[in-house]
Amino acid sequence: MKRVFTSIAKYIVFPMLLIVVNACDLLSPQPVDKQTDNLVLNEPGDVPQVEIGLYAAFRTIIPATVIAGDFTADMLLHNGTFSQYRELGNKQITSTNASVSTLWGAIYNTIYIANFILEKLPNVSGVSTTQRNKVMGAAHFLRGYAYFTALYTFGRVPLVLTTNIQTNLTIPRTSTDDILQQVLDDYTAALSELPKSPTNSSYAGEYAVRAAFARLHLFLGNWSQAEQYATQVIESGKYELEKDFANIVNKDQTGESILEVSYTLTDDPGTDGNIGLNNLFVGRREIIPSNEAVIALASSESGDRFQTIRFNAANLKGTDNGWSVAKYGT
């Protein structure tokens, strides 16, 4: 019997292995929530493309912040059918909220690309010192800004400082002090690397960092430091307030723009339900200014803040107050 069993076992081992392997494939599918390393940074020609990729990731943070921030501050009113905006408006936000997922994803996508640059760029030969510093500085600054946004939106978040997937899988939420220290460290590094005068305000420069320092210290209640950094920006002579507030609404990169997230007609995310501000505010009118926001704008000293909203009596119906956000175009 023993010999018979051995013979039978010899012939069934291979089929059993096939079953085990196939079962492993079924039970361990390829993950869909891991960032794949499809970025390339091996030679000087790759640097501008990676820099553009960093800014492209960063700019998604801004409209997502507008939606989440202005809704929860009662500046916006849900006027449509999308449940994600209704949840933001009534402060009953679920874990499946698409707007929240968009902001979270934008933050960590920016952080990932910044980490990639900071890991790879120092080892790429043939890159000029000026270009290397500019891109490294942007990576530090935008990573710091992303963590600043994350902290004051979500609270304690994972502090991810590498692109290593295995390391990132087990990072817990980090203390507020550690996140703040990382923001300060990134801003400090960026301050010594970024140029005083970037190509235009679509790119970060030294004074964008000083302005970010001022804002950070305002959040921390460090009034003297906030004043110090703000004064440095004001006294630089590089910026001046627009005399006509309408220019802030209708023109790009005005004289008072320190850092401005830019789009073109071909890549404006107008049809994106999560970040297409023009589509949401004007096209669908899914979101409208709240009555409180309208009253606050009407109470401005000169009344010029009304340039940011528009009224159309034809829209008056139901709970619709007839006002639309006009600040974000195509």
- CATH code, domain with 214: 1.25.40.390
The predicted structure's pLDDT at residue 72: 85
pLDDT tens, residue by residue, 49-99: 999 999 999 988 988 888 888 888 899 999 988 899 999 988 899 989 988
Is residue 2 situated within a structural domain?
A: no
Is residue 10 situated within a structural domain?
A: no
Give the chain's length: 330
Is residue 208 situated within a structural domain?
A: yes
Average pLDDT, the chain: 85
The predicted structure's pLDDT at residue 279: 78
Is residue 27 situated within a structural domain?
A: no
Is residue 16 situated within a structural domain?
A: no
Is residue 185 situated within a structural domain?
A: yes
pLDDT tens, residue by residue, 225-283: 999 999 999 999 999 998 888 888 788 889 999 999 876 655 555 555 566 787 788 87
Is residue 212 situated within a structural domain?
A: yes
pLDDT tens, residue by residue, 86-136: 999 888 999 899 889 999 999 999 999 999 999 999 999 999 999 999 999
Whether 153 shows a pLDDT value over 70: the answer reads yes
Closest by alpha carbon to 63, among 261, 250, 252, 205? 261
pLDDT tens, residue by residue, 179-194: 999 999 999 999 999 9
Q: Which domain holds residue 285?
A: 40-325
Whether 20 shows a pLDDT value over 70: the answer reads no
Whether 13 shows a pLDDT value over 50: the answer reads no
The predicted structure's pLDDT at residue 216: 96
The predicted structure's pLDDT at residue 22: 46
Is residue 304 situated within a structural domain?
A: yes
- The number of domains in the chain is 1
